[in-house]
A = this chain, B = another copy of it.
Amino acid sequence: MTSGTELFSSIPEVNYQETPPSIQVEEFRKVVQSRRSVRVFTADPIPETIVRECLELALLSPNSSNLQPWEFHWVRSPDKKAKLITYCLSQPAAATAAELIVCVARTQTWKENAAQMLKIFEEARKTPGVQVPAAAVAYYQKLVPFIYGQGALGLLGCAKKLIFWVRGFFKPTPREPTSSSDMNLWAAKTVALAAETLMLSFRAYDYDTCPLEGFDSTKVRRHLELPQDAFPVMIIAAGKRAANGIYGPRIRFDSKQFIKEL
């Protein structure tokens, strides 16, 4: 573990730079401020290219160790969509939506995705001038399997919990994930980051969304034929807002309740 944490504490020698563009902040503020949960949509469709662009933007969201434990199931076939609407309890946001996208978390794809990272590093090294820090390779080769692996029957997870607990008396030690519910939380978190980008993207393109949690997850899993390690985090209904699509002014409690300054 010591070598593991050292990976984090030193700055690698890299020969790379990205200069950010200048941005009109007011345009961004309008996106966030005008996003509301829209519960009734008009019959207008969303152009396919816009849905695709929004999904591609969502995939640029930050994610845990770049392991990308997310999936977006865009339910387009009319039959499948009709069924999905009933699994969303036929609530108007789902029933009237032009598109329904199920945001899915994967808790086991980190293995193949870590392997993909190593393959990309290997390819990159063949290009003259490109540096791949050894620490990055070591991270995906050694640390990722240790961090995210829970072992058969979760036994490695239990062992890690104990190791971290003991180690924690001597130095700061990351504690999670050490169980299947930790892994669920880990993956769901990353999916939610992307879901937010997706909703803001639709808004930027002048469409609206409603994030749905009120659905039958068992039936949705079966409907999408999700593998064992996959589960729906939320379903995003999207479309053009109807005149009666927003039920009232936005309510937020005093921000002092939520912003704590220490």
Contact = CB atoms under 8 A, between A and B. Distances in A.
Nearest to A182: B181
Contact of A216 (B31, B174, B216): B174
B201 A28 contact: yes
Interface string A27-58: 11111111111011000000000001001110
A73 to B, nearest CB: 5
A126 interface: no
Report how many copies the assembly holds: 2
Q: For the complex, would chain A's binding face be called helix, strand, loop or mixed by DSSP majority?
A: mixed
Contact of A5 (B89, B136, B241): B89
Interface of A: 5, 8-12, 14, 16-18, 20-25, 27-37, 39-40, 52, 55-57, 59-62, 64-66, 68, 70-77, 80, 86-92, 113, 116-117, 120, 132-133, 136, 168, 172-176, 181, 184-186, 188-197, 199-201, 203-206, 208, 211, 213-219, 224, 233-234, 241, 243-244, 246-253, 255, 257-262
12 contacts: A8-B89, A11-B92, A16-B248, A18-B246, A23-B27, A27-B27, A89-B174, A168-B216, A175-B217, A176-B217, A185-B188, A186-B213
